Amino acid sequence: MKYTMESHFELNEVTKKLPKHLHKFIVKQPYEEYTPQNQAVWRYVMRMNVDYLSKVAHTSYLAGLGKTGISIENIPHMEGMNRILKEIGWAAVSVDGFIPPNAFMEFQAYNVLVIASDMRTINHIEYTPAPDIIHEAAGHAPIISNPEYAEYLRRFGEIGSKAISSSKDYEMYEAIRLLSILKEDPNAKEDEIIAAQSTVEFLQENMGELSEMAQIRNLHWWTVEYGLIGTLENPKIYGAGLLSSIGESAWCMQDSVKKAPYSIEAANVNFDITKPQPQLFVTPDFAYLSLVLDEFANTMALRTGGLKGIQKLIDSNSLGTIELTTGIQISGIFTKVIQDKHNKVAYFQTSGETALSNRDKELIGHGISHHKNGFGSPVGKLKGINLPIEDMSPRDLKAYGIYEGEFMTLEFESGVIVKGKAITGTRDLRGKILLITLDECTVTFKDEILFKPEWGIYDMAIGKEVVSAYAGAADVASFSDFGKVSDTKTHKIVYSENERKLYTLYQKVREIRTHSKINESEIIDVFNQLLEQFPNQWLLLLELYELALKNNFSIKSALLKSLEELKSNKSYTRLIENGLNLCEF
């Protein structure tokens, strides 16, 4: 299947740089599906946020709201946001809920903000476990107007997208995705939610050693999502999870929530997406975030390579890349590694489609169609020869019998033996040899046959060590369709006739608010219908009270009385009190 986004997305200077394999995650923003109640929820949360966060958020937040084209009155259109975001070198795309972590990070690396297009329901107005447009647009977007933070986000994406996952990480991603979808669906069955919650809890307790991706997701959570900045005594909020939750943004400031200095140790502190966080981390400034990120990157196979790097790729069972000292890069699904007596890589093997690259560009003739059945090669120096093949001049190569048309036997220090007739060599632009291609070739390690002449031509990668190992492909164009879109889709909420009737009242109040001359009889009419059919609709009552108060209509007393009565329901008490406080200004 071919994926394009031209049909439903406006390409701009930023999004046109996205590699093709990311296009499949992009969906058309379902703007027409947002109900008038969704719009009212957006307005309530945004008004609360702007009022409260002006006191506790980092100064970039309020300034960023204006810079990123986010309105308090209406759920943002992605196209409108993009026209403004491109001024600061960023863009936004709409996706369906959670997408795989590597893909999420890769979007960030291209300065693209991933925005879950769904909108939280009124039942989850204070906090939702599902990613939604309030969290993404009103939480993430404003802070990226700060250049130092925006660069941290981009670098995080660049490094995070290379983090190697374990096979359990994908299970966890799917489990959390399903749980968040069910929790946000008012029509979901209770037993389905309990079963999904149990799966998440079981996986959390049985993840084993944390993978690179699990660790970097922890760092992302404690900074980008739930980060505080400043001093331990007087921190400010910059994490999108806190900025978009009117419940947690107030809760996190309490003394009972432990505040710890942010450090690389946060990589090993797991989080539970369905519960308030027991502790939060405070960074002194945005520059410090980048220092910790770089410190963590130094521990990744991306920078350390070696045997452990290939073992991580084998465990991931996903597309990954290794790079050898010559700069040759091998991208595929790694299935085997042989280690020598010094615990170094003696031989590696991929299965299925594999591509060879240099400096992130596929080598001509070495794409997945040529290496469709996998690729294997020895690594290291030749036995008894101190000079690695990669450092040999043409004269050296000839002296050791490595030249075209010559049948040769190459015995590596590790014990791998390559026998065959050299056909040609592939060099980089500086003349360094990357590959030797052999015919009639046999490759063995002890009693094991690794390659037979009848399998065809053998390409041997040159390099004395594996210097890097990371998730994904070296050349993003080599594999047109890697990265899987989840089969679990966000549930489209089915509304009853009664709910649709209620939404027409929400729409009517939205329209009344925009009139230049507001008529009290219209407000009385909606109020009477609410009392008769929807007596618990606290949010619409608040909107009516706000209009009556602003215009000094006599109906304001009756509206306030109804709101005070509804406050006796503990689910609404704080929400109504906060809304009434806003109406007074």
pLDDT digits (tens, 9 = 90+) for 28-86: 888 999 999 999 999 998 898 888 888 899 999 988 887 887 888 999 888 888 888 88
- What local confidence, expressed as pLDDT, does residue 212 receive? 95
- What local confidence, expressed as pLDDT, does residue 486 receive? 61
Instruction: Give dist(CA 438, CA 422) in Å, integer.
Output: 4
- What local confidence, expressed as pLDDT, does residue 474 receive? 96
- What local confidence, expressed as pLDDT, does residue 255 receive? 87
| pLDDT at 440 exceeding the cut of 80 | yes
- What local confidence, expressed as pLDDT, does residue 471 receive? 95
- What local confidence, expressed as pLDDT, does residue 462 receive? 96
- What local confidence, expressed as pLDDT, does residue 582 receive? 85
CA distances from 324 to 303, 363, 467, 554 (A): 12, 15, 5, 79
Contact, 459 vs 366, CB < 8 A? yes
| pLDDT at 7 exceeding the cut of 50 | no
Q: Where are the domains of the chain?
A: 15-295, 305-471, 497-583
Q: What is the pLDDT of residues 115-153, one digit of tens each?
A: 888 888 888 887 766 678 888 788 888 888 899 999 999
Half-sphere exposure of 311 (CA within 13 A, CB side): 11
Q: Would you state the torsion angle of the CA atoms of residues 73, 75, 77, 78, taken in this order, to the nearest 10 degrees?
A: 130
Banded pLDDT at 2 (limits 50, 70, 90) = very low
User: 400: which 2 tokens?
Assistant: 């050791």
Instruction: Give dist(CA 122, CA 496) in Å, integer.
Output: 16
Going by the DSSP 8-state scheme, the letter that residue 446 receives in this structure is: T
* CATH 1.10.800.10 is the classification of domain 15-295: yes
Q: What is the pLDDT of residues 294-322, one digit of tens each?
A: 999 999 999 999 999 999 999 999 999 99
Higher per-residue confidence, 396 vs 168:
396
Instruction: Give dist(CA 457, CA 451) in Å, integer.
Output: 10
Percent of the chain with pLDDT over 90: 56
Mean pLDDT for the stretch of residues 533-550: 94
- What local confidence, expressed as pLDDT, does residue 248 receive? 80
Q: What is the pLDDT of residues 245-281, one digit of tens each?
A: 877 888 888 888 999 999 999 999 988 776 778 899 9
Q: What is the pLDDT of residues 157-215, one digit of tens each?
A: 999 999 999 878 777 777 877 887 787 777 778 888 888 888 887 877 776 788 999 99
Q: What is the pLDDT of residues 461-499, one digit of tens each?
A: 999 999 999 999 999 899 876 666 666 666 677 788 999
- The residues, ordered by sequence, that sit 6+ positions from 406 with a Cβ below 8 Å of its Cβ are 421, 422
Banded pLDDT at 3 (limits 50, 70, 90) = very low
Pick from 4-8, 364-368, 418-422, 505-509: least confident: 4-8
Banded pLDDT at 585 (limits 50, 70, 90) = low
Highest mean pLDDT among 328-337, 431-440, 514-523: 328-337
- What local confidence, expressed as pLDDT, does residue 5 receive? 42
| pLDDT at 447 exceeding the cut of 60 | yes
